[in-house]
Structure 1
Amino acid sequence: SNAWADLPIDLGASWIHGTKDNPLTALAAEAKAATVATSYDSSLLHIDPAYAALGLDDPDSDWAEAQVERAMAWAEKRDKDASLKQALEAVSPAAKLSPFRRAQRDHYLAGNYEQEYAGPLDRLSAWHVDDSKEFAGDDVLFPGGYGQIATHLAKGLTIKTGHVVKLVEWDANGVSVICDNGNVFLGDRVIVTVPLGVLKSGAITFAPELPPRKAKAIDRLGMGLLNKHFLRFEKPFWPTDVDWHELVKPDPGKWSQWVSFTKAAGKPVLLGFTGADTAKAVEAMDDRAIVAEAMAAVRTMFGNSAPDPVAVQMTRWSRDPFALGSYSYNAVGSTPADRKALAAPEVGGALAFAGEACSADYPGTVHGALLSGSDAVRKLLD
């Protein structure tokens, strides 16, 4: 819409997470895509008045973090993986916490685990939830949109849109890719880069079927959900020198994490996140109801006189047939070895997989997807 012509909105990935030695940094420079940094240190914490009575004016995230570390230490001693929720209940049952402490811990878990990894606490693996590496440096956004990278990479390539793949027939002699419009593409090799959610759904048939280790990896890994809700206003009525706003409130994880685009991009836009089961519940609501809920949180943070947005854009990633979720997470019973099994090329090198779910080191990130693609090509060429 015209309201957004001056600010391309990234409905999926938006950041380069850690610019130092990150392959995306060089790619952004090649594509001449400008970036701006945001910082988790540039943040304000807001407290719902319902909590003021509990004396909750300074939630101590160090305490909450220590709780998670205790839970993980408990899980490490077991011979079988547990969910983060199960581990937390074992070391520090919610029923035994004061309302003050529970609010504090739930807020921390919603932001740092459910939204970070896009999975619910009762499905995130206590053993492997945060088994990933990071690049140093800033987190940066693209004022001109992440699409600049895809457009740059697409130069000189033949890309067929509107071809929904239904069947991949593969053997040592080559592959046929059959689409729902009847088109068939033949080749020596194929690299499958569809999201894990699509693989889980069985929307694409593989003939012969995938070997057990691959099928098991697809089954075991979790497909997460993180949704974005962009609210655009005539002008900012919130502090313009801060990137992140957090709201501690009675239903944690619902409208508790916000990014302001005024500092980074100079635009009167607030982005509210919902993740995991909360996101699933919000997806079922209509846009008007979602905006009403989101605005209740905005007014708790910035005052009741905050006007309604002039435009909104939001995602429902679990309902998108070409994604069926946002990105993968390490679910209870899965391990980084499942990601390696998913990425391993098959018979005679005819079939390989790539994408963030194939990255054991950097799952859930664009750089993980990019590196896994390079790996897949290298393996097929070998």
Structure 2
Amino acid sequence: MGPSSGVKVVVVGAGLAGLSAASTLVKAGFQHIQVLEAMSRPGGRVHTTRPFGQDIIELGANWIHGQEGNPLFHLARERGLLLEESGSAKTMCLPGSLTPNNYFFEESGRQLPVDEVDQVCAFFRGVTSKAFGSELEPSHSAQSLGGYLDQEFAQSPLGASKVGQRIFEWCKRSECTDEASSSLYEVSAVQLCHYVALEGGFFNCLGPGGYQALVDTLLDSLAPGSVLCDRPVHSIHWALEEERHAHPVSVRCRAGQCFNVDHVIVTVPLGFLKENATAMFEPALPVSKASAIESLGFGTVDKIYLRFEKRFWPDDCDGIQLVWDAGPEDEKVYRYSQSGGGDWRDTWYKKICGFDTVARHPTVLCGWITGREAQHMAGLDEKTVGEACVRLLRSFTGWLVPEPAQVLMSRWGSEPFVRGSYTYPPPGVDAVREHNALAAPLPLPSDAAHSQEKPLQVLFAGEATHANFYTTTHGAYITGIREAQRIIDLYGDKKLDS
């Protein structure tokens, strides 16, 4: 029997972080691994469905972000889960990203010339890339991404054009989808440089099983009964006294079930922690970790799928993009509306940048919506949302747009065990410090060095705990392996059972 044979570990959350942690421990010889999932299904923010027939629709994670150095891409390739076209994975566009076949319409119904759109979007990509590429001046250190972009655009010749201003606002709304924010005024300009984009582009290259096939691969590596769904955790009691408890951690479920373990790996989303961390941990989380939970941003990105009986858009159209007449929004106007002024709830649909075509579904369009408007939409029914989308499509394009046969929406902001989609760095926050503080295991190394407490009692994984790969599925996956490896290394001075 190896030293790990009696070690008990609970993993909270069966998303990619939790499943990669459990799978890594099992492969290292740990025998007592229990995964507790609050929802009725494993996968977390991966949610592959088949509402329109046999082909998949992704309500959650959609993209593999890059190939080189991406363990999820390599895992999918090893297991034959990629969709191959002419020997290579098919590249797909991110929401709102440009292809030559995007149709841009003004509110008046005029279709914008491609050259006019490309000129503004190219400028937007150029100034945004400076933020991601660490090329900003020290004067931008406390500035929001929205404020920085407004400043740069106002100083360019393009900023004098009314149409250019409207296209630039479209670009900003589209970028909100990447950042999971209500507005780019909520996102730091300088902190974006810490995000690392892997080479190889953005891919929706998974085969007919979608992201669920990757989840299933990880589930297959675990013993039957290792994952328990519908098991929301109520509290985690750690640093229990050795004289009175055989194990230092007690994980208690809302239904009353209790697991006494040596280690717990917490992989719940940051949005859930923001809402529940104060009451969830006993003793309370250290100030550094509580501050990280509060400081980092966690926003909502939702999808609206519209299935029609027949395709009404041209064969060469990859997306229908909506350019509103409203002038440029500045930070002051946004803050006013955020504090209760304005009527953004009545015009929530203006946050929809457009509708993109969907792979494998020739009669389906997908609209993307973010932030507070997405959270407002979650309280509406499918019929109301579908009617609003059809009104937009008709008024902007002038085409004969039929009523949709089906409407399907994600509602990540209102999902009680998620409360959003992914993480972003707010202005004035040292994002790397906060990501690392969130990732630090308990007891903290500085505390453990001066105490007799067992190390690594509570560990943390998930995309929000990675300073360079936050927002991504591979970030979540990597952090699960990282935390499992901490436990493996703790017992690694002796050979583990195979």
Cα drift, residue 376 of structure 1: 1.1
Matched, 1:39 2:92: yes
Indicate yes or no: 2:131 matched with 1:63: no
Quote the residue 2:34 is aligned against.
Answer: none
Q: 1:225–1:184: structure 2 CA closer, same or farther, 3 Å change rule?
A: same
Q: Secondary structure at the match of 1:360?
A: coil
One-letter amino acid of the counterpart of residue 358, structure 1:
T
1:168-189, Cα deviation, whole Å (9 max, x unpaired): 1112852111111000011111
Matched, 1:168 2:168: no
1:135-170: CA deviation from partner (whole Å, max 9, x where unpaired): 222512433231111122112341111111010111
RMSD value, Cα: 3.0
Query: Would you say 1:271 and 2:381 are equivalent positions?
Result: no
In 2, are the aligned partners of 1:18 and 1:136 still within 8 Å (CA)?
yes
Pick one of 348, 369, 378 that aligns with 2:476.
369
Which of 16, 35, 46 pairs up with 2:64?
16
Once the two structures are overlaid, the 10-residue window that deviates more, 289-298 or 45-54, is 45-54
Change in CA separation of 1:56 and 1:180 when aligned onto 2, cut-off 3 Å: same
- Matched residue type, 2:401: A
Equivalent-residue separation in structure 1 for 2:310 and 2:432 (angstroms): 45
Give the match's secondary structure for 1:129.
helix
Q: Residue 66 and residue 147 in structure 1: after superposition, are their counterparts in 2 closer, same or farther (change >3 A)?
A: closer
Query: What displacement does 1:238 show?
Result: 2.3
Distance 1:271 1:55, change over 3 A: closer
Other structure's SS at 1:268 match = strand
Q: Could you report, residue by residue, the CA deviation over 1:99-150 in whole angstroms, capped at 9, with x for unpaired residues? A: 3232121111111x21111112221111213531122225124332311111
**In the alignment, structure 1 residue 230 sits paired with structure 2 residue 302:** no
Residue aligning to 2:418: 323
Identify the range of structure 1 (147-156 vs 183-192) with the bigger mean alpha-carbon deviation: 147-156
**For 1:1-382, what aligned pairs fall within 5 Å after superposition?**
4-35=52-83, 37-40=90-93, 41=99, 43-50=101-108, 52=110, 58-59=116-117, 60-66=120-126, 68=128, 76-78=137-139, 81-89=142-150, 98-111=161-174, 113-119=175-181, 120-129=183-192, 131-138=194-201, 139-142=203-206, 143-155=208-220, 156-157=222-223, 158-171=226-239, 174-202=248-276, 205-241=280-316, 243-250=318-325, 254-261=351-358, 264-299=359-394, 303-334=398-429, 335-347=431-443, 348-382=455-489
Moved more, 19-28 or 339-348: 19-28
Cα distance in 1 for residues equivalent to 2:261 and 2:373: 43
Structure 1 245/135 Cα, relative in aligned 2: closer, same or farther at 3 Å? farther
Pick closer, same or farther for the CA change 1:69–1:266 going to 2, 3 Å: closer
Give the letter aligned to residue 175 of structure 1.
V
Q: d(CA) in 1 for partners of 2:413 and 2:213?
A: 25
Q: Is the 8 A contact 1:244 1:260 kept in 2?
A: yes
- Work out whether residues 253 and 275 of structure 1, in 8 Å CA contact, stay in contact via their aligned partners in 2: no
- Report the CA distance between 1:98 and its aligned residue: 4.3
Residue 61 of structure 2 aligns with an amino acid whose one-letter code is A
Q: Distance in 1 between matches of 2:317 and 2:239?
A: 55
Deviation at 1:318, TM superposition (A): 0.8
Distance 1:170 1:368, change over 3 A: same
Letter in 2 for 1:350: Q
Q: How many residues align?
A: 378
Normalization by structure 1: what TM-score? 0.88
Distance in 2 (CA, whole Å) between partners of 1:91 and 1:193 is 39
5+ unaligned residues in a row in structure 1: which ranges?
A: none
Indicate if the aligned counterparts of 1:75 and 1:82 stay in contact, CA closer than 8 A. no
Change (3 A) 1:54 1:38: closer
Deviations 1:200-225 (A, max 9, x none): 00265111111111111111100111
Task: Give how far 1:300 is off.
Answer: 5.0
Distance 2:101 2:198 in 1: 21
- In the aligned structure 2, how far is the partner of 1:198 from the partner of 1:185? 21
Q: How big is the shift at 1:71?
A: 8.7
Residue type of the alignment partner of 1:26: H
In structure 2, what residue type is equivalent to 1:353?
F
Q: Secondary structure at the match of 1:128?
A: helix
CA distance in 2, matches of 1:183, 1:52: 61
Q: 1:211 to 1:54 in 2, by over 3 A?
A: same
Q: Secondary structure at the match of 1:341?
A: helix
How many Å apart are 1:92 and its aligned residue? Answer: 5.6
Q: 3-state SS of the aligned residue for 1:349?
A: coil
Which residue identity lines up with residue 105 of structure 2 in the other structure? I
Classify the secondary structure of the residue corresponding to 1:304. coil
Q: Max radius of gyration: which structure?
A: 2
- In the superposition, relative to structure 1, how do residues 241 and 304 fare at CA in structure 2: closer, same or farther (>3 Å)? closer
CA contact (8 A) 1:34 1:144 kept: no
Q: Which residue identity does 1:199 align to in structure 2?
A: L
Give SS of 2:377's match. helix
- Shift of the alpha carbon at 1:303? 4.4
The alignment-based identity, stated in percent, is 31
Q: CA deviation at 1:86?
A: 3.4
Question: More deviation in 20-29 or 177-186?
Answer: 20-29
Cα distance between partner residues in 1 of 2:150 and 2:185: 11
| Structure 1 match to 2:40 | none
